[in-house]
Amino acid sequence: MRNQILFDKIGLSATKRMIVVSVINKYRKILAVFVSLVCIFSAFAQTTDDVGAVFKRIDMAIAAKSADTISKILSEQRKSPDYPLIENYTLKKTRQLIITDNLELARQTSLAVIDNNIENFDAVELYSYIDKAILNQQAANQAAENRKRLEEERIAARNAKSKQQLASRGNYQVVSTASGHEVYVNEQKSSFSSWIWTVKLCLADFNFQKVSEPDYSSLKYGLGLGANIFRPSERIILGADFFADAHIVTFMTSGGNSKTSTSSSNRDNGKTQEFFMSARFVPEIAFADFSKHFFLRAGLAGHLLASNDRDVTGSATTFFSPVVGVALDNLHLGEAQFRAFCDYDVGSVLYKDINMAMELGGAILLPMAVNDKTKFGLELGVQDLLLMKNAADDGSSGSGMENRVKFTFAIGVGNVTK
C-alpha cells in the first residue's frame, strides 16, 4: 500500500512501477547485509577508540609513577568486554618497568592487576618474580653497606691507633708533600726537610798502585774527605758527589825502571817517594718516572802527581778532565746504605802520555747509631782509577796500563730518611 501511494505521488506508470518493485525485491537482502556491516564497523571503531583512550591513561599513570591511578583505571574497566586487553597491556608495561630496573613500581603495578583479578595467574607469577628480585637487591645493598661500614671502622681504628702512638712519642704536625700526601713531622725534634745528605771523613785511605811498564807497584796511605747531597722531588732528583784525598806516606814499593839511576836524595831507605792527590765534583740527576736511584752525572775531576822519581815508577802525570758517567745512589740494603759510580775522564785524551782514563767505585755505609735526625756509622769503600797510557817521548814511562786502587775506611754521618 505504501509503495502504491509513493508511486502515485511520483507519477510512475504501471509498467515502470512493476520494474521498480522487481529491483527492490531483488536487492533487498544485499542492502540489508550492507547496512548491517556499516553498523558493525561503526561499533568496532567506537570500541577501538575507547581502548586506546584507556591505554593512554595507563601510560600517563605509569609516567606519573602512580599505582593507585592504575588500580582505579582497572577497577573502572572490569565490566568492559575489552578488559583482558587492558590487563595484558598493563602487564606489558610492568615488564618494561622491570627492564628499566624500576622494580618497586613494577611490583605495585602487578599487584594492582591482581587486586582487580586474582585469577590472573600471569600477574601472580610476575609479582612473585619481582618480589624476589627486590629482596635480592635489598640483601646485596645491605651487604655492601655492611662492608663499607666495616672498612670505615677499620680505618678509623687504625687512625686512632696511629694518633695514640704519635701522641706517646711527642708533638707532631701534619705536613702536605708535593704529591698531595700528608706526613707527620715531630715539632719538638726536627722540622720537615727534603734534603738527603751524607758526609764522611776517611781516616784510612790506602792506595795500591800497579804499573805494567815498567813493572812497578806501591802501597800508600792517606786521608780523605767526601760528601753527597740530594734534593728529591716528584719527577727529578738533583744531587752532587764530592770527594778529595791525598796519599803522602809510602809504605812499600816494588820493581821500577832499574835502568834509570836515581840519586840518594830522591830516595828514603831505598823507596821511591811520590805523592798522589785527587779530587772530583760531579753533579747528578735522576728521573723518578724511570728510577729514583739511577743517576746520570757530569762534572770535573783532577789527579795530581808530585814526584822526582817518575823515571823509575812510570806513573802517569798530573791531569785534569771533565767526567761523564752513571751512578746508583740511595740504595738501602736493610739499615745499610749503598752507592756505586762509573766515570769516564773525557779530557784524558788531550794528554800525550794518557790514551784513556776512567774511574769506578762503590761504598756501603753501615749504621752504628741512629736517632730521629741523623745516623752515624762506618763507611767501607773501594775505588779504581784505570789508565791506559802511551809511551812518553822522553822515555820516562812506557805504554801499557796503570791501576790506582783505593781502599777507604771512613766515619760517615747522614740524615735519616724514611
If one compares 225 and 273, the residue with the highest pLDDT of the two is: 225
Averaged pLDDT for residues 333-342: 89
Is residue 3 scored above 60 in pLDDT? no
Residue 53 backbone phi and psi in degrees, to 5: -65, -35
Is residue 47 scored above 90 in pLDDT? no
Averaged pLDDT for residues 268-288: 84
Model confidence pLDDT, tens digit, residues 351-410: 888 889 999 999 999 988 887 778 889 999 999 999 998 866 655 555 789 999 999 999
Say if residues 219 and 208 touch (Cβ distance below 8 Å). yes
Lowest mean pLDDT among 3-12, 128-137, 162-171: 3-12
Say if residues 156 and 125 touch (Cβ distance below 8 Å). no
Percent pLDDT > 90 in the chain is: 27
Averaged pLDDT for residues 112-122: 85
How many angstroms separate the CA atoms of 268 and 255, rounded? 15
What single string gives the DSSP state of each residue in 206-218? EEEEEETTTTEEE
Averaged pLDDT for residues 307-336: 87
CATH classification at residue 313: 2.40.128.100
Asked whether residue 106 is domain-assigned, the answer is: yes
Confidence of residue 180 (pLDDT cuts 50, 70, 90): low
Residue in 388, 314, 382, 397 with CA at minimum distance from that of residue 358: 388
The residue assigned the cell 570500541 is: 47
Residue in 53, 33, 375, 399 with CA at minimum distance from that of residue 212: 399
pLDDT of res. 393:
60
pLDDT of res. 91:
87
How many Å separate Cα 99 from the centre of its chain? 38
If one compares 311 and 293, the residue with the highest pLDDT of the two is: 293
Asked whether residue 182 is domain-assigned, the answer is: no
Confidence of residue 80 (pLDDT cuts 50, 70, 90): confident
pLDDT of res. 281:
96
Asked whether residue 52 is domain-assigned, the answer is: yes
Asked whether residue 145 is domain-assigned, the answer is: no
Average pLDDT value over all residues in the chain? 80
Asked whether residue 130 is domain-assigned, the answer is: yes
Averaged pLDDT for residues 84-113: 87
Confidence of residue 41 (pLDDT cuts 50, 70, 90): very low
Asked whether residue 336 is domain-assigned, the answer is: yes
pLDDT of res. 295:
95
Is residue 188 scored above 50 in pLDDT? no
Which residues constitute the domain of residue 268? 196-415
Torsion of CA 103, 108, 110, 111, to 10 degrees: 140
Is residue 43 scored above 50 in pLDDT? no
End of a domain among 116, 136, 156?
136
End of a domain among 103, 136, 169?
136
pLDDT of res. 190:
43
Looking at the fold, whether 119 and 22 belong to one and the same domain comes out as yes
How many angstroms separate the CA atoms of 117 and 115, rounded? 6
pLDDT of res. 175:
53
The three cell numbers of residue 142 are 645491605
Asked whether residue 18 is domain-assigned, the answer is: yes
Asked whether residue 151 is domain-assigned, the answer is: no
Instruction: Count structural domains, the chain.
Output: 2
Say if residues 379 and 364 touch (Cβ distance below 8 Å). yes
Lowest mean pLDDT among 81-85, 149-153, 376-380: 81-85
Say if residues 336 and 378 touch (Cβ distance below 8 Å). no
pLDDT of res. 311:
78
Looking at the fold, whether 407 and 328 belong to one and the same domain comes out as yes
If one compares 99 and 45, the residue with the highest pLDDT of the two is: 99
